Chain A
């Protein structure tokens, strides 16, 4: 173990002895996400850098404090990418924060090997637990069923189990070619078309519907993209403009996200009909992700999500007294409490960030 890493373990051990709560925070680009937490700030950016990257192994191992932008730049230089297309939400985003937040971008619901969220690409991790011990889960190989798959659980854990010190991630080649199409249609038509297309072997890579227009990104082998354009029709969207559009969706710089009204992230089965709630919506992931701007009370929004068979997260702004995330059923909440106690017996890390009582 090198000095920076052992120093970070030592800091956690000292906090554990003094029972000092810790707030894990690197670049702070996702401060807005989850519930408010408090504690002495622990900045893991002292532990940074690429540990191992052999492009032909399709795996990159990096320390948690590594800049997300630099990591993606390195992959791009080698013709590869993070398939889950994570949002950065600022120049200071780190790979550790990216994993802990567990947020994926437009490519999450794509065809073929790039399908999947953050957890689908996590292969291994080093984690500093609440005793200051460095634990090693998973590995650097794509198939590994030795022990429970704890490293995938870190994706979206909001830092409540420990300090992520290092991660190994499966990476993929950049698609040979990509192209975006536009269609004028209602939300309901878009939802039913997207689900129908997803059931056919088409190189779908991303979708976004807003105010009567559906944007559809195709990506894959040139022949596949060409054939799909021919099959689907629609209006061609200039590639440069399209790239900027998808970055705007991913980074939430698209005008839909511009004002300060509470922003809700509704996860629903992809075939759920358009939400009848009335306020402005933006639909992604073939219908499975619905962004909603509304000042309605949390119970009402969550009720609407439950009726659609899903759940709702208060993503930005608004009153979080009911919690940012949908409450858990009792047996799952009990497992969460026991799991948290196993990794962090003194409840040092990110108190309340995921659930107010965790």
Chain B
């Protein structure tokens, strides 16, 4: 049954009503206890001071924290944790707040622990090709500091100007080059941090294969729920001598997907492989002037990097494969300026969405690549159902979709339709054998869909992992793993409602 506008209209409380009030008495005593070792301006509690921390990049969810703590030394972080552990106070770690799934959404009775002031690059070892940095260092700042050694940090999420390495560790961030150069988990060697009890721990190390279980793999992508990161050592890789990009047009999104498969079948791993559908190229072109073919159903950006000889050889092979795969138009960048212009559209897709619409909701499912045509057509078919537009940008190499649902955040009905549309896209990704999140994390946003993707025994195993690291359950509680009750509610709603809606339950 197709839900009507009316059925979704009341499904969702306005975001403001989902939040809970802060207890002023508890707040006062917590502020006093924190100020015993933190300077006055490092402990915020007045509403005008804590308001900027009420959400991360996912603005659909907001909650005022009881207190914001801004330590600037590792030892202060340790003392905040010890205090909170002793008094049973939840702790929500936060970097730059650019996350897109609400992982850093505050807790009404907790401390929002900002690590932004721990922002020093501690050392760069050009011979060992490593950089050791504090968690508040921005992703791009690492590559900038390593540039004089002709080295860089490979993962490049589109928020890399602002997002921090601590946040990248929490989310296992990707980017447009991860098919060839890996995700955060492949590029972080070592994490030093603290348990909720305030004990020092070190995961991984500069020597490979740290003894015991690979806890580093668990901590990366754990959304701040297992430990608090205070220092990160990343692997640096040599900057390629040159890079060139092919821009190819296709008359059908399915054919563009087949072209990606053909490239890989030919033994090529492009340095970057991105797709925009027609709605996306039309959205970004006026903003970025990238020169996209606006008549094409899909545009593929396909990059090669390496030595000039290697790149020339690869570009020639890729061009032949793309033409054989029915590309209708091919353009190869002939200068660095032209290459950057091709990328400008893709990299500015989110700001362009923000300009074209009062608000946009960025989804993050991953699907097996062979299902691409099917999924994009299904998303197009959902647009009239929800009365919203949804252009798509896509990390084509690794199957990671970013549908951008355009909506009006001043209109509660539009908000509700956007959320329901997003939820249905995620359900679709699970049905296709994919996942509800490729790189943005579960946070609070995708708790319901976790119930669809995993069975109860596996969800309970996740809760077991959480309690092995944080027996008291105080680190970023309530994120990532849905409770039994929540999944039961979600299941009932889907069965009885006959359609996907958001429950009007209190969330926290």
* Known pairs A141-B398, A223-B312; A115 contacts B437 (CB<8 A): no
| Chain B minimum-CB-distance residue to A138 | B435
Interface string of A201-216 (1 = CB under 8 A from B): 1100000000000000
**B-facing mask of A291-320, CB < 8 A → 1, else 0?**
000000000000000000111010000000
B135: min CB distance to chain A, Å: 18
Once the chains bind, are A335 and B469 in contact (CB under 8 Å)? Answer: yes
**Which residues of B lie under 8 Å from residue A56 when comparing CB positions?**
261-262, 264-265, 369-370
A102 to chain B, nearest CB (A): 7
Question: B185, A120: Cβ atoms under 8 Å?
Answer: yes
B310 touches A120 (CB 8 A): no
B209 touches A156 (CB 8 A): yes
Residue among A55, A59, A147, A226 with max Cβ neighbours from chain B (10 Å) = A147
Interface membership of A257, Cβ < 8 A: no
CB-CB under 8 A from A18, the residues of chain B are: none
Decide if A155 touches B214 in the complex (CB within 8 Å): yes
Q: Contact: A135 with B461, CB < 8 Å?
A: yes
Alpha-carbon distance A152/B183, docked complex (angstroms): 13
- Which residues of chain A are near B186, meaning CB under 8 Å? 115-116, 120
Tell me whether B465 and A339 are in contact (CB under 8 A). Answer: yes
- Would you call B320 an interface residue if the criterion is a C-beta within 8 Å of the partner chain's C-beta atoms? no
Contact present for B462 and A147 (CB under 8 Å): yes
Contact with A along B448-463 (1 / 0, CB 8 A): 0010011101110110
CB distance from A120 to the nearest CB of B (A): 5
A44 beta carbon closer than 8 Å to chain B? no
Size of interface on B: residues with Cβ below 8 Å to A: 98
Chain-A contact segment, one of B50-58, B89-97, B234-242, B283-291? B234-242
Cβ contact within 8 Å between B208 and A331? no
Q: Which of B16-24, B120-128, B246-254, B407-415 lines the interface with chain A?
A: B120-128
Question: Which residues of the other chain, B, contact A152 by a CB distance below 8 angstroms?
Answer: 185, 214, 217-218
Contact of B208 among A108, A155, A200 (CB under 8 A): A108
CB-CB < 8 A to A119: which residues of B?
214, 217
B149: Cβ under 8 A from any A Cβ: yes
Decide if B464 is an interface residue (CB 8 Å cutoff). Answer: yes
Q: In angstroms, how far is the closest chain B Cβ from the Cβ of A320?
A: 14
Q: A137-160 vs B: 1/0 string, CB under 8 Å? A: 101111111111110110111001
A65 interfacial by beta-carbon distance below 8 Å: no
**Which of B205, B209, B226 has most chain A Cβ within 10 Å?**
B209
Interface status of A67 (Cβ within 8 A of chain B)? no
Whether B434 lies near A141 (C-beta < 8 A) is yes
A105, chain B: closest CB distance, angstroms: 13
Judge if A195 is at the interface, Cβ distance under 8 Å.
Answer: yes
* Total number of residue pairs linking A and B with CB closer than 8 Å: 271
Q: A185–B434 Cα gap in the complex (Å)?
A: 50
B172 at interface (Cβ–Cβ under 8 A)?
Answer: yes
Give the chain A neighbours of B211 by CB distance below 8 A.
311, 313, 325-328
Is B182 in the interface zone, CB < 8 Å from A? Answer: yes
**Closest CB in chain B relative to A208 CB, distance in Å:** 15
Report A262 CB to chain B, min CB distance, Å.
18
**Which stretch, B107-115, B438-446, B499-507, touches the partner chain A?**
B438-446
A343 sits at the interface (CB 8 A): yes
Q: Which of B179, B210, B454 contacts A142 (CB 8 A)?
A: B179
From B129, B205, B209, B261, contact of A198 by CB (8 A):
B129
Q: CB of A173 within 8 A of chain B? A: yes
Interface centre among A111, A196, A267 (most CB of B within 10 A): A267
Cβ of A116 and Cβ of B182 under 8 Å apart?
A: yes
Is B306 part of the contact surface with A, judged by Cβ < 8 Å? yes
Does A35 make an interface contact (CB < 8 A)?
no
The 8 Å CB contact of B438, one of A141, A147, A221, A289, is: A141
Binds B, one of A25-33, A85-93, A241-249, A268-276: A268-276
Is B399's beta carbon under 8 Å from chain A?
yes
Q: Which residues of A contact B149 (CB under 8 A)?
A: 199
With both beta carbons as reference points, the residue of chain B lying nearest to A267 in the complex is identified as B207
**Residues of A close to B312: CB separation below 8 A:** 223
Contact of A174 among B261, B262, B267, B457 (CB under 8 A): B267
Residues in B with CB closer than 8 Å to A264 are: none
A65 to B240, CA, bound (A): 41
CB atoms of B435 and A141 under 8 A apart? yes
A277 CB–B CB distance under 8 Å: no
State whether A224 touches B306 (Cβ < 8 A).
Answer: yes
**Chain B residues, CB < 8 A from A137:** 458, 461
Alpha-carbon gap, A325 to B454, bound state (A): 34
Q: Does B484 contact A (CB under 8 A)?
A: no
Q: State how many angstroms separate the Cβ of A174 from the closest Cβ of chain B.
A: 7
Binding-face segment, B32-40, B194-202, B354-362:
B194-202
Contacts of B366 on A, CB cut-off 8 Å?
139, 141-144
A104-129 contacts to B, CB under 8 A, are 108-109, 111-113, 115-117, 119-120, 129
Nearest-Cβ distance from residue B397 to partner chain A, whole angstroms: 8
The reply to whether the CB of A254 lies closer than 8 angstroms to some CB of chain B is: no
Question: Would you give the shortest CB distance from B101 to chain A, in whole angstroms?
Answer: 9
Residues of B within 8 A of A173 (CB): 264, 267-269
Chain B contacts for A117, CB-based, 8 A: 208-209
B193 CB, min distance to chain A CBs, angstroms: 10
A195 touches B213 (CB 8 A): no
Across-interface contacts of A172 in B (CB, < 8 A): 269
Nearest-neighbour CB distance to chain A for B372, whole angstroms, equals 11
Is the C-beta of A338 less than 8 angstroms from some C-beta in chain B? Answer: yes
Cross-chain contact A201 with B306 (CB below 8 angstroms): yes
Q: Closest residue to B469 on the A side, CB-wise?
A: A335
Q: Which chain B positions have C-beta within 8 A of A270?
A: 128
Given A112-B180, A142-B398, A325-B212: A201 and B239 interface contact (C-beta under 8 Å)? yes
- In the complex, whether B431 has a CB less than 8 A from a CB of chain A is no
Interface pair B471/A338, CB less than 8 Å apart: yes
Ordered nearest first, which 6 A-B pairs have the shortest CB separation?
A: A342-B464, A310-B207, A173-B267, A143-B438, A56-B261, A223-B309
Can you list 5 residue pairs at the A/B interface with Cβ under 8 Å? A146-B442, A149-B220, A227-B310, A313-B211, A325-B211
Besides A202-B238, A227-B307, A336-B212, 11 other A-B contacts (C-beta < 8 A):
A54-B368, A55-B264, A56-B264, A56-B370, A57-B369, A109-B208, A117-B209, A145-B439, A201-B241, A332-B201, A342-B464
Residue positions of B touching A, CB distance < 8 A: 125-129, 149-151, 171-172, 174, 178-183, 185-186, 195, 199-202, 205-215, 217-218, 220-222, 226, 237-241, 261-262, 264-265, 267-269, 306-307, 309-310, 312-314, 366-370, 395, 398-400, 433-442, 446, 450, 453-455, 457-459, 461-462, 464-469, 471, 480-481
